[in-house]
């Protein structure tokens, strides 16, 4: 008799928990997919918009150096997708390379050795050729990408967490008080008293 009641209780609980679990998993998988697609499209549009504006503004001078910006956006995509990229280092290298290229383009009449250009790159912070833009951009990019990456990873993990939580053994739940509003799920009274403090 006791075994039959235990089995009935398990089956009565399993269906609603399973249904709720499936619904939550599906919802969060969909949210993950939508956000991921949105952020990737946003990044693609930003790259295209910047490219179009620079082509109109700087023409051939930009076109000949466009791979620097293309690489910049590839690194941002790589960071978002998998990490493994130091945003701070990537941005520092971008600004140093941009300074070197601009310096050579604006001083075409002169020939500079690699040692001279390396010296210029090392003194970028003192020279501040781009003003406060590198610092502001670093803050904005770091905030945006760390937040977006953390958020999308969290959304990706939620279905797994829901699945694991929904499979907590019935034996652990037997004897626990029913949380308010969930009496029909068949909880018993075996959890520690603190577990149900906010439920009953």
Cβ density class 136-153: b for 16+ within 10 Å, e for less: eebeebeeebeebbeebe
Cβ–Cβ contacts within 10 Å for residue 173, how many? 19
Each residue's pLDDT expressed in tens, for the chain with a length of 200 residues: 677 777 776 676 677 778 888 898 999 999 999 999 999 999 999 999 999 999 999 999 999 999 999 999 999 999 999 998 999 999 999 998 999 898 888 888 999 898 998 888 888 878 888 999 999 999 999 999 999 999 999 999 999 998 888 776 444 555 555 555 555 554 444 455 555 554 44
Contact partners, residue 80, CB within 8 Å, separation at least 6: 39, 40, 43, 145, 148, 149, 152
Q: Note whether 90 and 74 are within 8 A (CB).
A: no
SS3 64: coil
pLDDT the model gives residue 124: 80
- What stretches of the chain show up as alpha helix (H) in DSSP? 2-58, 60-63, 66-82, 87-106, 114-122, 124-127, 133-166, 170-173
pLDDT the model gives residue 170: 42
pLDDT the model gives residue 3: 75
Global pTM value: 0.73
């Amino acid at each position: 008799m006791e075994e039959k009641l235990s089995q009935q209780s398990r089956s009565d609980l399993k269906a609603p928990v399973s249904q709720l679990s499936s619904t939550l998993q599906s919802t969060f998988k969909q949210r993950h997919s939508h956000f991921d697609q949105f952020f990737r499209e946003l990044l693609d549009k930003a790259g295209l918009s910047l490219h179009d504006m620079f082509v109109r503004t700087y023409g051939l001078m930009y076109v000949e150096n466009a791979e620097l910006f293309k690489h910049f956006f590839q690194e941002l995509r790589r960071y978002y997708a998998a990490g493994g990229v130091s945003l701070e280092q990537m941005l520092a290298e971008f600004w140093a390379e941009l300074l070197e290229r601009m310096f050579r383009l604006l001083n075409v009449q002169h020939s500079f050795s690699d040692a001279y250009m390396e010296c210029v790159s090392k003194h970028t912070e003192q020279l501040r050729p781009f003003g406060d833009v590198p610092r502001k951009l670093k803050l904005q990019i770091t905030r945006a990408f760390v937040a977006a990456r953390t958020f999308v990873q969290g959304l990706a993990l939620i279905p797994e967490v829901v699945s694991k939580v929904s499979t907590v053994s019935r034996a652990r739940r037997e004897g626990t008080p029913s949380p308010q509003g969930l009496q029909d799920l068949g909880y018993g009274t075996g959890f520690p008293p603190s577990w149900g403090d906010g439920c009953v």
